[in-house]
Each structure stands twice: as C-alpha cells, then as structure tokens.
Amino acid sequence: MPDILEDLIQLLTLERLDTNLYRGQSHDIGTNRVFGGQVLGQALAAANNTVEDRVVHSLHAYFLRKGDHTAPIIYEVDRQRDGRSYTSRRVVAIQHGHPILNLAASFQVPEEGLEHQSSMPQVPRPETLKDVTDYRRQLLDRVPEAALPRYLLHERPFEFRPVQLPQFIDPEPREPRVNIWFKTVGPMPDDDDLHRNMLAYLSDYYLIGTATRPHGVSVFSKELQLASLDHALWFQRPFRIDEWLLYSIESPSASGGRGLSRGQIFREDGALVAVVAQEGVMRLWPEAKT
C-alpha cells in the first residue's frame, strides 16, 4: 500500500479517549485550514464507532469555524436514538475549545425494497483520460512553482481523471458541470465502514469549485473566497473506493454570496452509490469578509 494512502487510513482511524469521545489528528493539504473532507470523514468514523450491525445511509453537516491543521480535533458523539430499524447519532467536532463542525448521521439495518435510480452520464472511460497531476505538471511550464497555491502541488491519495479539461490559467465562463473519475492510488482493506468514511472525505472535493465555472474565476485569484457551509451525503448502494467511481457534479445556482452544488457518484457498472449536496461561501474579496 502506498504510504500516502496508509497515512489517510491512519487519519480516519480515531483514538478513543472515553465513552463517546474520540480524537483525530489533522493533516495539511496545502491550504490555511483543515480540509473539510477530513472533518467529515473523521466525524463519520466517530459515529460509526458507536454503532453495531447497522449501515450509515445519510449524514448532514454544518461547518462552523475554520479548522487548524496543526492541532488534533476532539469528536464528541451523542447517541440520540437506537430504534428497531434506524439509529441516529450527533457528532460535534471541537478544536481549541470551540465547535468547528456539527454532524448528524443516520444508520439503518440493511433491508430490501423498491429500487430506481438516475442514469450515469455517457462519458469517456477513465483509462482514456489523463490524471489531474498531468495538468499540474503542464502548469509548471507556464507558472513558477513558488507562485502556485500549495494545494495544487500537494500529493493526494486518490487518482482524479477529469472529463472536462481543467483551466487553471485564464479560465473562460463554462457550463457549471464537472464529471471526474476517481479511486484510491492503491488497494484498500475489506472494511465497508472505512470505504464509506473515505468517500465522505473525498466528497468535499470539486463541489464548490464547480459553482465558480460560469464566472470565469481563476483559482489563482486572490479576490475569490471559497468555504464550505453545509454538506449532505446519502449512501445508496455498495461500492469500493479502490475501484473507479464517477463523480458527476452540477451547480444549479449561485446567489447571495453562496454557491450551491450537487453530485451523484456512480460505479463503473452504472449503479448510483451516493448523492451529495453542498452550499458554500463564494465571494469576491471587494465584498468579502474574513
């Protein structure tokens, strides 16, 4: 297993401090804050640690404060309800004495039922596409490395193969839609909870960025302020995150200094495995506040 993937697995493996109380470490991905997906994945891991024989089917989270990537995070779990079929948990992520995220998660005893789903978009196969790191290498030929945001150079534990070509420099207004294949850079253990925790981690990628596409705003622009506000994730069908999955994202609206995006995640065989929605701050600095 590649070291970078092992590091992510360890990041999502929490230390138990007491009943319903856990601690997770933080990781720097090249930004000035904790990556929101890290807090989502760890909060879901904390909730999972208090549930047996049930599978998470949904989570809803609010990002309250910017996290400090140099400090650990405490996760406090409230066992709100254990019913015959469904279990509810509430998790508060705490750092430096303040909550930085509230998460509610619901778990279900697996059962059969009526089924239907959206169709997977017709897009090129991942084997025919370049990894996003190839585009970053091309970017280094045009922009000095010291001028690039650190997160563009950060090594990731996932392969990302975009269908729509990324435009890092001089972007033009484009349709608010992105399709991107992804999987981990190596094989994963046979642990379904870990695969779901990791999907929660990854689901924070590319959502708010899709909402900027119609506006032709460069990722290098210091005028642009982006931050996640809330995040929802519904798990629909089994999957493995070390096998190719398609993240199909669209942004139906941006208004009031906020951008809204929603995504569907499909297996290679077309099965819909998860649905995601997120709203985030999307301001230009002349009107932005820290």
Residue 106: active-site member: no
Exposure string for 146-164, b = 16+ CB within 10 A, e = fewer: eebeeebeeebbbbbbbbe
- Beta-ladder partners of 76: 21, 92
Q: Are 174 and 213 in contact (CB under 8 A)?
A: yes
Residue 278: active-site member: yes
Task: Please state, in angstroms and rounded to a whole number, the distance separating the CA atoms of residues 288 and 290.
Answer: 7
Helices 3-11 and 36-48 cross at an angle (nearest 10°) of: 60
What are the tokens at 79? 């066992």
The residue from 26, 106, 228, 248 that is catalytic is: 228
Residue 225: active-site member: no
The residue from 131, 204, 242, 261 that is catalytic is: 204
Q: What is the 3-state secondary structure (H, E, C) of 192-219?
A: HHHHHHHHHHHCCCCHHHHHHHHHCCCC
Amino acid at 192: D
Q: Are 226 and 209 in contact (CB under 8 A)?
A: yes
Residues 6+ apart with CB under 8 A from 264: 118, 247, 248, 272, 274, 275, 276
Catalytic residues: 204, 228, 278
